[in-house]
Structure 1
């Protein structure tokens, strides 16, 4: 059983990745420590991302308008999660003759609700549930009631606008475009997409040339992103991105955040995304993040067992 192997003490000479996997599993399973630490790790992550505007000068906030950069926030978010808000970005290996290259892909992001529900008007029960979700989140983060209500309203407006420029089929081949990095400026001035590409390449330790290309899926969404960014204030955009990034870590947060999420899913008619047990969640999360390590752990045990059976039969 996977959990049996992950719960074994680390050994001298053990592969570093396996040791890290065991540490990840132990931290994930330690719900008592998660509850005891409360919002402290959460607020640190928020501040690492530049701060959550709704929190003002309180812990987790301290957002600075003058220091804010949409491009930098997207790059930092990419380093934290593979579900970057507003501009979903992912880096693929591209193997060419005699060399290994990387290609950055831009795509439309996932939203909290199916796209068609955003078109029903703000009084739709699902959208009202989404507004309540943000209100409860911001208050749980530590925001006062007035600020939480204001940002919940503005965040809902932003997400509706993002839905309105999204495509129902984000993988439709007719809306894919391959663009040289040097030509990205044609997509707008407010968002410096070339800076985003360069930042992501550098964060991964890869070199970038002006002749390199990026793949843009859902070109209609990409072309209209700048319009949405210009419509909403920097504080609302930053608040939305930081909140979405933080909530990708919901199962490492105190139980209140899982409860808020579950209430939202139920009120909006969506299925729960929680695993049946904490153990199942932690093992699945580790398998998704470190598949090679999990394979190594199991393969070693399988080969040992096969070898033991062989010796028994030969005896």
Structure 2
């Protein structure tokens, strides 16, 4: 009862303004942190969990008590927190990655050396997208995942959907309001700054990144709006052979086989043309590959690498962070960088979720609660 009362503003008449009456006490006591775009009860709870995880991850490794997975989680956290070593390494590890296919970045050709030159003839869209999805958990153009079949809930099935764009909503690309234009300008500047920090020529970077933004606008135009994503319209079950016949421009089977780690999941090595999938947005995929067929390959390659750099924000150097912050200030209203420990907790959680979950349950769940959920 005391907790509920503390969230109220009892000086407000609920018949006049129920929202202020019910919420203003909590809002007054919890201003939005400067590194966040929004705040509420769930982000507040999430922050408190992260503080507890931080304390657990900072405890010294015990080879006697900690499992191998927990030890790896602590090592990953410590390496992420070693900012001095990260700054000393500068961009060398990233440039080393960008010298190897499929991550050669066309905009960096003048700086990355002959071994890193991007070649249109050698560029494979299938390989680039599959490597990003399989090894870096980043979806560009295509979102591939496994979930329960909507009509046979006891069965799991592959699903294909449209991937997210760089900005928060498709309207940010399509509307001509002052606000939407400022978002696009800020994102364009972020892309240019990222390329220049990695050694790209400034004028080449601006030209190439404008092409990337134009490509994202075209993709935003064909994306299925949220209000049209009904359960029935998004249930399009077919096998991979049928999908390939419907959209022959892309090697769907090759893409899925490259994404799946058959060493980790040997039972999936036999995925073939008869494998069923649910294609949630067939029209989007038809339009997508029509667009990509008519675009220069280096535009798609640049967009793929921009998406990879954006996805790697938790491991970004300080110069890159400040460049990203300038864009975030315009787009989200955040005015400071997220603390390094917070980024590192997020990184470890996303990389080793079960190890982190085990640590938290072991330290903070009461014994009766553990017994209650163990049968599940």
Partner of 1:163: 220
**Aligned pair count?**
301
Gapped regions of structure 2 (runs ≥ 5): 1-51, 368-376
Distance verdict in 2 for CA 1:276–1:134, change over 3 Å: closer
112-121 or 141-150, which moves further after superposition?
Answer: 112-121
Query: Which residue number in structure 1 is paired with residue 320 of structure 2?
Result: 257
Q: Is the partner of 1:66 in helix, strand or coil?
A: coil
Match in the other structure for 1:279: 341
3-state secondary structure, aligned to 1:210:
coil
1:75–1:200 CA contact under 8 A, matched in 2: yes
Q: Report whether the alignment pairs 1:3 with 2:54.
A: yes
Q: Could you tell me which residue of structure 1 aligns to residue 242 of structure 2?
A: 183
* Aligned partner of residue 293 in structure 1, secondary structure: helix
- In structure 2, what is the equivalent of residue 71 of structure 1? 126
| 2:126 is the alignment partner of 1:126 | no
Q: What's the offset of the Cα at 1:224?
A: 1.0
- In the alignment, the residues of structure 2 paired with residue 89 and residue 274 of structure 1 have an alpha-carbon distance, to the nearest angstrom, of 34
TM-score relative to the length of structure 1: 0.84
Is 1:42 aligned to 2:91, yes or no?
no
Q: Relative to 1, partners in 2 of residues 1:125 and 1:246: Cα closer, same or farther, differing over 3 Å?
A: closer
Q: 2:272 and 2:128 mapped to 1: Cα distance?
A: 22
Q: Deviations over 1:108-157 (max 9, x none)?
A: 11112221121235993322222222211211121011210121111111
Higher deviation after alignment, 172-181 or 116-125? 116-125
The secondary structure found in structure 1 opposite 2:121 is: helix
TM-score (norm 2): 0.72
How far apart are the structure 1 equivalents of 2:177 and 2:121? 32
Q: How big is the shift at 1:274?
A: 7.6
In 2, distance between residues paired with 1:280 and 1:217?
35
Task: Please tell me whether the aligned partners of residues 179 and 215 of structure 1 are also in contact (alpha carbons under 8 angstroms).
Answer: yes
Residue 67 of structure 1 aligns to a residue whose secondary structure is coil
CA distance in 1, matches of 2:137, 2:229: 18
The Cα shift of 1:21 comes to: 0.6
Map of 1:309 onto structure 2: none
List, as ranges, runs of 4+ consecutive aligned residues in structure 1 with deviation greater than 6 Å.
none
Alpha-carbon distance between aligned partners in 2 of 1:5 and 1:117, rounded to the nearest angstrom: 40
